[in-house]
Structure 1
Amino acid sequence: MSTMNYSEKIPNNVNLSEDRTLQRALEQWQPNFLDWWGDMGPEGSTDSEVYLRTAVSVDPQGWAQFGHVKMRDYRWGIFLNPGDAERKIHFGDHKGEKAWQDVPGEYRANLRRIIVTQGDTEPASVEQQRHLGLTAPSMYDLRNLYQINVEEGRHLWAMVYLLHKHFGRDGREEGEALLERRSGQEDNPRILQAFNEQTPDWLSFFMFTYFTDRDGKFQLCALAESSFDPLARTTKFMLTEEAHHMFVGESGVSRVISRTCAAMNELKTDDPAKLRAAGVIDLPTIQRYLNFHFSVTIDLFGADESSNAATFYSTGLKGRYEEGKRMDDHQLRGQTYRVLNAVNGQLVEKEVPMLNALNEVLRDDYIKDSVAGVERWNKVIEKAGIPFKLKAPHKAFHRNIGALSNVKVSPEGQVVSEVEWAQRQDEWLPSATDRAYVQGLMGRVVEPGKFANWIAPPVMGINRQPVDFEYVRFS
């Protein structure tokens, strides 16, 4: 097999060309990655030239190089944020010690598990979004989908680099397994359930990139605190790209709302049937999609009480969101946190050791951040003069993990019976009829500057280009 030119084919700042062992591992893995991309990457994209951002270094000038490139020829690079030779561990039992450059033997299994779980989400989302390009509402949106897809591919490279570099044969085997699992596949699914859900339409895609990629932000921020310095540096750079994914989601939902509000004012109606007849997505349907994606995503943070979370923190593998800004001892001994439980048909709070509640701490940080974006959507509705407010559901709503998975709760936080849940589920979550209607709107619009009827154009284009720029050149 011919040797790759690592500085050109794979932009990197980890001296790939000087590490023969790593070169051999990647020379075996890269063809399998390209085969996976060909099989499971964006359908029908192979020969398109797309106006993509490519990272070629970590400095501000290098991480955002724009230009038209064929999808398969995209240069997936490997980057770590600049290191600090004096960096100290700042939380957990090893607080004050020097950060680790190699994996401590006693934490090897847990670190590998953390990296594999994060790595598995990256190809999963590409698989979930595989067919969306066939129904893109505009060339602008198609380009954004493709940008997210290639960056999720780069984030997979980032995790596979860590596995190959620091975990030997075990890491190489895990790297191969990341390409073998498939989103939604019955016998070999992705690790986390939210990444086995379908993304069948663009409203789902925008909700996914707003809510579920925001989970990615919070998980990456927690890993960016890690005492294992290569993981911390890798995830810090990944966060620069994750911001765009959340922007696509927030602005996408905002544009759907804007178009709906315009139709409501044109037709002087809030009747969902009349609005559907006009080919837009009514606000109650948007609320049900919001309820679904919010609730599925907050399950990703895991059980409310978790001994694993306590172990990961105490051993220094995974910190809290913005650990350095918190005013406590960063070891949490003797501290408590309130979590929700269902007792005799009521939601009640109980105090538990904070170390065991760290999943809930991260979930609550995430919820606060998510709700802020929902309020920005409400400003669009308010500006249009429409008396309707979107709302994030109660965190106990539609939960399938932890203590709240055994109880049915309304979006307002009221415990309801199984019978009432069955009767009202279609009020609260997208029904088969809702999904069929939304999917029925999905038709490809790819003429520059043109947009599907159900979504408004963006305020501005990408990288100071006009909205009607030729973002995708079809062969």
Structure 2
Amino acid sequence: MSAIDYSQKIPNNVNLNSDRVLQRALEQWQPNFLSWWGDMGPEGSHQHDVYLRTATSAEPSGWAHFDYVKMPDYRWGIFLSPQVQDRKIHFGEHMGEDVWQEVPGEHRANLRRIIVTQGDTEPASVEQQRHLGLTAPSLYDLRNLFQINVEEGRHLWAMVYLLHRYFGRDGREEADALLQRRSGQEDNPRILGAFNEQTPDWLAFFMFTYFTDRDGKFQLCALAESSFDPLARTTKFMLTEEAHHMFVGESGVSRVIARTCELMKKHNVEAPDQVRALGAIDLQTIQRYLNFHYSVTLDLFGADQSSNAATFYNTGLKGRYEETKRGDDHLLKDRGYKILNVVDGKLVEKEVPMLNALNEVLRDDFIKDSEAGVGRWNKVIEKAGLPFRLTVPHKAFNRQIGTLSGVRIAPDGRPVSQEEWNAKASEWMPTAADRAYVASLMGRVVEPGQYANWISAPLSGINKQPLDIPYVRFN
């Protein structure tokens, strides 16, 4: 069941044609999806031929076929990783039992909530990024943006399939609502706050794909442990595509840094205004963008103490990152975990039951992974012989959810007064002037093999292609 049937109106590897009722329901949803794509997908792109990757099977050898495709013709579909025979539940109260192929009635509401929340992030990111193609720094980058966009669209299809197949009328209504909410819309916004933020420029886009798509990786990894086997198989395949999104973010920021360092060394300048005079993005501004996107992403993991997280784990709906590799009892009844609290104006550690702190466990796993990439960015600066180093701010910085919500903490972890926060915020977070300057650099580069002044060329092309091919053809 790993091969994908592209002869069908909706490509799939779930034998969709054997369930005519489901097939008709999804074929009725499909025109609404295409209408949403036409309204909210990448602006002005519908006639472009784009060098895109499309899956031909869910096996590792078959998920990367490359060809030129018009995005509205992209073969979105429903792809699940191959089923593992005799798979057992490996955490929580049902440990050792067979995984579920249907939704247990007592878990129906929670599973639907998990799927809807995940599904809502996918079209949201397309909406946030829909104007970026108009200011792409190269055809290589434009193609990568479009690849991410079509894959987020396919991830939406993945969640919509689950809603239609397993949740009946409620699921169909939720699937419709996924196309009705809009990122940043006041009266009908997306569910999670970070997906209502604007992505106004390419530095923000690279930070988003590095940090916020990394949140997606950890959430999908936790769902890939689920006792509900169709959800686990769906998210496992989504992870093969998510890796590219994070690569675009990490390599994009690295290329911005490399170009800045190159110009700083060439012209022997260090001050931000001198760097800006050269048409580059100064390292201090990159740090402020990092602080913002990192802190906003940390909130996506939810409150540091959560009875819902405990319930999801106990009942087998959502595991931990790399659950099977952990050497504990996978029940966690008697285990504790340290979270941060504010006492008398100071940050202190407080131990709570681990079951209630599973959002924090996942957040800490994300932090370790994020820090590794920032370390690689610093190697670019170090190689250039410059003393500046990027830092990951303290996890209590600029938080809006949980115990740390609204607490004023400096990037180095010091509690500060509201007065100091107001005085220093412009040093710690992107200002309107920062965003205006970065926006002033954004201008579309359409010549194959050419790149905007503020970013360096990538190390290699896509699918081993030369860097100077037209990755996007304008028609």
Q: Distance in 1 between matches of 2:55 and 2:160?
A: 17
Q: Distance in 2 between matches of 1:272 and 1:211?
A: 24
Q: Distance in 2 between matches of 1:58 and 1:99?
A: 20
Matched, 1:197 2:197: yes
CA drift at 1:57: 1.2
CA drift at 1:406: 3.2
Q: Distance in 2 between matches of 1:170 and 1:6?
A: 29
Q: Distance in 1 between matches of 2:88 and 2:212?
A: 31
Detail structure 1 runs of 4+ shifted over 2 Å in the superposition: 5-11
Map Cα deviations across residues 405-442 of structure 1 (whole Å, 9 max, x no partner): 13100000000001110111010000010000000100
Partner of 1:339: 339
Q: After superposition, where does 1:281-296 map in structure 2 within 5 Å?
A: 281-296=281-296
Residues 336 and 353 in structure 2, CA contact (< 8 A), matched pair in contact too: yes
Q: Distance in 2 between matches of 1:157 and 1:170?
A: 17
CA drift at 1:55: 1.1
Q: Distance in 1 between matches of 2:365 and 2:138?
A: 34
Matched, 1:242 2:268: no
Letter in 2 for 1:223: L
Residues 334 and 353 in structure 1, CA contact (< 8 A), matched pair in contact too: yes
Residues 116 and 174 in structure 1, CA contact (< 8 A), matched pair in contact too: yes
- For the residue of structure 2 that corresponds to 1:408, the secondary structure is coil
Range with bigger deviation, 171-180 or 6-15: 6-15
Letter in 2 for 1:77: G
Map Cα deviations across residues 290-346 of structure 1 (whole Å, 9 max, x no partner): 000000000000000000000000000000000000000000001100000111110
Q: Distance in 1 between matches of 2:10 and 2:382?
A: 47
Letter in 1 for 2:186: E
Q: After superposition, where does 1:434-449 map in structure 2 within 5 Å?
A: 434-449=434-449
Q: Distance in 2 between matches of 1:346 and 1:59?
A: 51
Partner of 1:407: 407
Partner of 2:370: 370
Matched, 1:41 2:33: no
CA drift at 1:462: 0.2
Letter in 1 for 2:263: A
Partner of 1:233: 233
Residues 208 and 249 in structure 2, CA contact (< 8 A), matched pair in contact too: yes
| Identity value in percent | 77
Letter in 1 for 2:438: V
Residues 12 and 56 in structure 1, CA contact (< 8 A), matched pair in contact too: no
Letter in 1 for 2:246: M
Residues 256 and 281 in structure 2, CA contact (< 8 A), matched pair in contact too: yes
Residues 164 and 172 in structure 1, CA contact (< 8 A), matched pair in contact too: yes
Residues 398 and 406 in structure 2, CA contact (< 8 A), matched pair in contact too: no
Q: Distance in 2 between matches of 1:165 and 1:91?
A: 25
Partner of 1:71: 71
Residues 49 and 69 in structure 2, CA contact (< 8 A), matched pair in contact too: yes
TM-score where L is the length of structure 2: 0.98
Q: Distance in 2 between matches of 1:319 and 1:298?
A: 19
Partner of 2:96: 96
Aligned length: 471
Residues 10 and 27 in structure 2, CA contact (< 8 A), matched pair in contact too: no
Residues 394 and 412 in structure 1, CA contact (< 8 A), matched pair in contact too: yes
Partner of 2:146: 146
Letter in 1 for 2:225: E
CA drift at 1:62: 2.1
Letter in 2 for 1:27: E
Q: Distance in 2 between matches of 1:184 and 1:36?
A: 16
Partner of 2:266: 266
Q: Distance in 2 between matches of 1:345 and 1:361?
A: 24
CA drift at 1:27: 1.4
Q: Distance in 2 between matches of 1:152 and 1:19?
A: 25
Q: After superposition, where does 1:122-161 map in structure 2 within 5 Å?
A: 122-161=122-161
Letter in 2 for 1:189: P
Map Cα deviations across residues 240-294 of structure 1 (whole Å, 9 max, x no partner): 0000000000000000000000010011011110110110000000000000000
Q: Root-mean-square deviation (CA), in Å?
A: 0.8
Residues 136 and 444 in structure 1, CA contact (< 8 A), matched pair in contact too: yes
Q: Distance in 2 between matches of 1:60 and 1:6?
A: 18
Q: Distance in 2 between matches of 1:80 and 1:92?
A: 24
Q: Distance in 2 between matches of 1:354 and 1:321?
A: 14
Letter in 2 for 1:173: E
Matched, 1:390 2:390: yes
Matched, 1:354 2:385: no
Letter in 1 for 2:55: A
Q: Distance in 2 between matches of 1:90 and 1:389?
A: 42
Letter in 1 for 2:132: L
Q: Distance in 2 between matches of 1:61 and 1:400?
A: 42
Q: Distance in 1 between matches of 2:219 and 2:446?
A: 35
Letter in 1 for 2:159: M
- For the residue of structure 2 that corresponds to 1:180, the secondary structure is coil
- For the residue of structure 1 that corresponds to 2:7, the secondary structure is helix
Q: Which runs of 5+ in 2 are unaligned?
A: none
Residues 56 and 77 in structure 1, CA contact (< 8 A), matched pair in contact too: no
Residues 59 and 82 in structure 2, CA contact (< 8 A), matched pair in contact too: no
Q: After superposition, where does 1:304-315 map in structure 2 within 5 Å?
A: 304-315=304-315
Residues 148 and 245 in structure 1, CA contact (< 8 A), matched pair in contact too: yes
Q: Distance in 2 between matches of 1:180 and 1:6?
A: 28
Letter in 2 for 1:53: R
Q: Distance in 1 between matches of 2:89 and 2:386?
A: 51
Map Cα deviations across residues 355-411 of structure 1 (whole Å, 9 max, x no partner): 000000000000000000000000000000000110100000000000001310000
Partner of 2:300: 300
Q: Distance in 2 between matches of 1:448 and 1:375?
A: 31
Partner of 2:327: 327
Partner of 2:60: 60
Partner of 1:51: 51
- For the residue of structure 1 that corresponds to 2:397, the secondary structure is coil
Q: Distance in 2 between matches of 1:275 and 1:371?
A: 26
Q: Which runs of 5+ in 1 are unaligned?
A: none
Q: Distance in 2 between matches of 1:253 and 1:272?
A: 17
Q: Distance in 1 between matches of 2:13 and 2:208?
A: 31
Q: Distance in 1 between matches of 2:400 and 2:31?
A: 38
Q: Distance in 2 between matches of 1:364 and 1:83?
A: 30
CA drift at 1:6: 6.5
CA drift at 1:10: 2.6
CA drift at 1:61: 3.3
